[in-house]
Amino acid sequence: MTHTTNGLEFDVLRRAYAAGTLSPVDAVNMAYDRIEATRETDGVWIHLEPREGVLAKARALQELSPEARAAMPLYGLPFGVKDCVDVAGVPTTAACPEYAYVPEESNPGVERLVAAGAIFVGKTNLDQFATGLVGARTPYGIARNPFDARYLPGGSSSGAAVSVALGHVSFGLGTDTGGSGRVPASYTATVGLKPSRGLISTRGMTPACRTLDCISVYATSAADALDVLDVAAAPDPTWPYSRANFDVPTKYRALAGDRFAFGVPRESQLEFHGDSVSEAMFEDGIRALEAMGGTRHEVDYAPFLEINDMMFMGPMVAERFAIFGEFLKRNPEAGHPITRMIILNAEEIRAHEAYRMLYRLEELRRQVATLWESFDTLLVPTVGRPFTIAELEAEPLKVNFDHGYYTNFVNPADLAAIAVPNGFGADGLPRGVTFAGPAGTDAWLAELGGRFHDRRGASRPAPVAVPA
């Protein structure tokens, strides 16, 4: 099936550039026209670069020799950056104006993208300090869900996902600690690629949990997201949390495209929070994966759930206090009430509790590692169901925890993952699924996720936000 296009997808721009029917200047103007048409109300952008300055960069790209342009894998592709990732000379706020600083250097991944010909447009909205999976904990307004403004956009990388869904940019950088690079993909019918930890350097970003953070990619297809990862990923010898490019685990090199095994949580462990549409669509997704050559295996989801609880209900949250606690104690009014409460409450966590958690986490990692002997990827819904803004306001903590049911475990368990669309329900809202696998399987997961997306999520209505 052919994906619905908005004119800024990689293949669309590449073909137009090659044919001479479009230029990077045209793409930039297209992006800015769309952004400026709704910027006052859509809550997507925290900072937008002046149009004329970005057009000058586009003209400079156009003036390069054909050979130089051909050597740039992301030539002429506009992109945005979540506003907790540094871009030199542009304020980083982490959705907290009082916390803002202006970095002198860009994150290494951002530098590599620009060097590859991508055109930086601006900084996108997020849950403050990347603490949340809902996209509503921000003083900059909620990035409107592209399909129904009564619903959340997902977080914390809300602006990055919505900007891609609305065709503001060709791709967006997000981040992911407990699901921030995947949850918004489900709400916006986009692809969210969560790389193996350390593939893209996290030097030059405001961390949520430095030991777990990843820079993620939002795009309209898995292939596009993988193109971005291939450019942005590189070892960073100056950063202790960078890791060298992973070798693909041996068995994944030998897997045939139409023969693979996938794990699914036991039926009693699947949670859709009462939404029969989401439940039926997930079952349809399973059948589609079987039709693609996959063999289904039921898996005990209990180890994953136990890791989940460590993220916000256990000592792991103390790392957020280590990063932001003193700032929020000095500036309590600067914090979103829920964010402030979560982070400051972690001050009471004791060191021995954290060590006990680390011991248990290592045991659970070992349990999870043995599962890949039985299947190749774990398939889960990205979120159990879509939630409205009103539901979040009524139960802010519960709704956030519910969003993490299928996401929080991925980084603590040292896995790679990709979230892709699983079609639209009768209610007009998209749903997504996530494929997870061992660190180093990023490309294999993207290939599988891309084929699934083509089969299940290609046809979609144009994203038009419902007026609030």
Q: Which pLDDT value is given to residue 94?
A: 98
DSSP string, 302-340: HHHHHHHHHHHHSGGGHHHHHHHHHHHHH-GGGS-HHHH
Q: Which pLDDT value is given to residue 458?
A: 55
Task: Count helices and strands (H / E) in the chain.
Answer: 17, 11
Q: Which pLDDT value is given to residue 460?
A: 53
Quick one: fold of 10-256+375-456? Amidase signature (AS) enzymes (3.90.1300)
Q: Which pLDDT value is given to residue 463?
A: 61
Residue 298 · residue 262 · CB < 8 Å: no
Q: Which pLDDT value is given to residue 468?
A: 41
Residues 225-252 pLDDT 10s:
999 999 999 999 999 999 876 777 778 8
Cα dihedral 108, 113, 119, 120, rounded to 10, equals -30
The model's pTM is 0.95
The rounded distance, in Å, linking the Cα atoms of 136 and 391 is 12
pLDDT by residue, tens only, the chain of 468 residues: 344 457 899 999 999 999 999 999 999 999 999 999 988 888 999 999 999 999 999 999 999 999 999 999 999 999 999 999 999 999 999 999 999 999 999 999 999 999 999 999 999 999 999 999 999 999 999 999 999 999 999 999 999 999 999 999 999 999 999 999 999 999 999 999 999 999 999 999 999 999 999 999 999 999 999 999 999 999 999 999 998 767 777 788 777 678 999 999 999 999 999 999 999 999 999 999 999 999 999 999 999 999 999 988 788 899 999 999 999 999 999 999 999 999 999 898 899 999 999 999 999 999 999 999 999 999 999 999 999 999 999 999 999 999 999 999 999 999 999 999 999 999 999 999 999 999 999 999 999 999 999 999 755 555 654 334
* Assigned token pair, 113: 């993208």
Q: Which of 210, 121, 136 is nearest to 167 (CA)?
A: 121
Domain map (residue ranges) of the chain: 10-256+375-456
Helix (H) or strand (E) holding 378: strand 377-381
- Which residue type sits at 79? F
* Assigned token pair, 288: 């589609």
Residues 27-75 pLDDT 10s:
999 999 999 998 888 899 999 999 999 999 999 999 999 999 999 999 9
Burial status of residue 329 (CB atoms within 10 A of its CB: 0-12, 13-18, 19 or more): middle
Q: Which pLDDT value is given to residue 249?
A: 78
Residues with catalytic function: 82, 156, 180
Residue 354, number of CB atoms within 10 A of its CB:
15
Residue 252 · residue 444 · CB < 8 Å: yes
The rounded distance, in Å, linking the Cα atoms of 39 and 355 is 46
Give the CA count within 13 Å in the CB-facing half-sphere of 399: 23
Residue 29, number of CB atoms within 10 A of its CB:
15
Helix (H) or strand (E) holding 122: strand 119-124
Cα dihedral 73, 79, 83, 84, rounded to 10, equals -10
Q: Which pLDDT value is given to residue 1?
A: 37
Residue 295, number of CB atoms within 10 A of its CB:
12
The rounded distance, in Å, linking the Cα atoms of 264 and 270 is 9
> 380-412 burial, b if ≥16 CB within 10 A, otherwise e?
bbbbbbbbebebbeeebeebbbbbbbbbbbbbb
* Assigned token pair, 12: 């669309």
The rounded distance, in Å, linking the Cα atoms of 72 and 55 is 18
